Structure 1
Amino acid sequence: MLYTGLVVISIFYLVSLARGIKIFLRKHFSISYLILYLCTLEFLPLLLVYNILLI
């Protein structure tokens, strides 16, 4: 049951990430804004959670 929940959450996360990228590309923002968005709002929280779980 736990693994099923993790898979569902991962799928929703990837779908929201894909929608965010699609919005960025549709609005013709600079690619640097996309990289900044991905690093600050998507990858950094995941890295922080990963580091907390390792401790």
Structure 2
Amino acid sequence: MPQSDMAGGLAWLQDIRTAYPLFPSVVTTTTGEPAIYHAMLSTDVNALISKSDDIKEI
């Protein structure tokens, strides 16, 4: 998701988590911004994976 759409993506993620709280969710991202990671984790996602991580980390 382009950086300009990040706020919309976070709102969408929150909407999904609210509508389906028992459905496991995994987010993959290319962002390196700690604040964005924190915001995503605050939506109670089950996993957050950085696409820039080494495959061994994933």
Q: Do these two structures clear the TM 0.5 threshold for a shared fold by scoring above it? A: no
TM-score, normalised by the number of residues in structure 2 = 0.39
The structure richer in helix per residue is: 1
TM-score, normalised by the number of residues in structure 1 = 0.41
The structure richer in strand per residue is: 2
**Greater RCO (Cα-Cα under 8 Å, separation 6 or more):** 2
Structure with larger Rg: 1
